[in-house]
Structures are given as C-alpha cells and as structure tokens.
C-alpha cells in the first residue's frame, strides 16, 4: 500500500473497529522508534472509545517527555489489505495534534516492510 512522506513524517491510513463501530484514520505516523501503536482519544471518541473504570493507565517515555495512556482491545485494525483481529492498542494524547502512531508492535508482528524508495508499506 502507498504511504505518504511530507518531507518530515511518513504516514499511512488505517481503519479501526471497536465494538462494531468502524473509523478510517488518515495521517497516522509510521514510527519504528515507538514500541506500541497509539491513537489519540479525540479521534477514537467518535466510535465510542473512552476510558472506563478498570482500564489500566500507563506512562510512555520518549524524546518529548512522558504521556499517560490506557489500552483498549480493538475488534479489528485494517492496514491496506492486512486485517488484524482483537488487537490491543494504546490510547493517549499525542503532541502537535497528531492522530496516531503506527508502532513497532504491529509493524514487526505483521512483518511489514517499509520501502522508502517506492513509498510503500507491504509484507
């Protein structure tokens, strides 16, 4: 599948389904430096993803400092033609109004190859 490069970031689109509700999210950053996939709660709220009593809260650390997040099990995430069922993702606020980061957890588990010459993400 095609990926985008704006001169600074590599992005893609993905589709998430949570409790039967589906949402396509564009401009998700492909981030091999982040260990988990994380999506902004502002984006996921549209399909009913919210913090619920009992959800574990964690803290992620990176170059920009730390951010709190919680995890949710998505019914499905679709990236191109690849569908991943019952997958846990992180939900947390990202800097600069970013919608999400596609992290190394999914990239490695699914065996994705990032072809920067052709700007493609494939297996």
Tens-digit pLDDT profile for residues 69-79: 999 999 999 99
How many domains does the structure of the chain reveal?
Answer: 1
35 or 106, greater pLDDT: 106
Task: Identify the pLDDT of residue 63.
Answer: 67
CATH at residue 74:
2.40.70.10
Give the domain extent around 61: 4-122
Specify the DSSP element, H or E, that contains 44.
helix 41-44
Residues in the chain: 123
Q: How do residues 43-85 score in pLDDT, each as one tens digit?
A: 999 999 999 998 888 887 766 677 789 999 999 999 999 999 9
- For residue 60, which phi and psi values (nearest 5 degrees)? -105, 140
**In terms of C-beta distances under 8 Å and separation of at least 24 residues, what long-range contacts does 55-63 make, across chains too?**
58/90, 60/34, 60/36, 60/90, 60/92, 62/33, 62/34
For residue 113, the cross-strand partners are: 122
**pTM to 2 decimals?**
0.91
CB 96, CB 80: distance < 8 Å: no
As given in the structure block, the two tokens for residue 120 are 């493609």
Q: How far apart (Å, rounded) are the C-alpha atoms in residues 31 and 43?
A: 18
Quickly state the pLDDT bin for 23 (edges 50, 70, 90): very high
Task: Report the distance separating Cα 14 and Cα 66, nearest Å.
Answer: 25
């Amino acid at each position: 599948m095609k990926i985008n490069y704006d001169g600074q970031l590599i992005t893609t689109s993905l589709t998430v389904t949570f409790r039967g509700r589906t949402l396509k999210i564009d401009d998700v950053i492909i981030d091999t430096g982040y260990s988990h996939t994380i999506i902004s709660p502002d984006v996921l709220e549209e399909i009913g993803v919210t913090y619920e009593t009992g959800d574990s809260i964690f803290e992620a650390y990176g170059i920009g400092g730390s951010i709190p997040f919680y995890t949710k099990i998505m019914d499905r995430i679709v990236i191109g033609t690849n569908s991943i069922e019952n997958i846990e993702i992180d939900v947390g606020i990202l800097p600069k109004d970013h919608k999400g980061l596609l992290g190394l957890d999914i990239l490695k588990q699914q065996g994705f190859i990032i072809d920067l010459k052709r700007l493609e993400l494939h297996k």
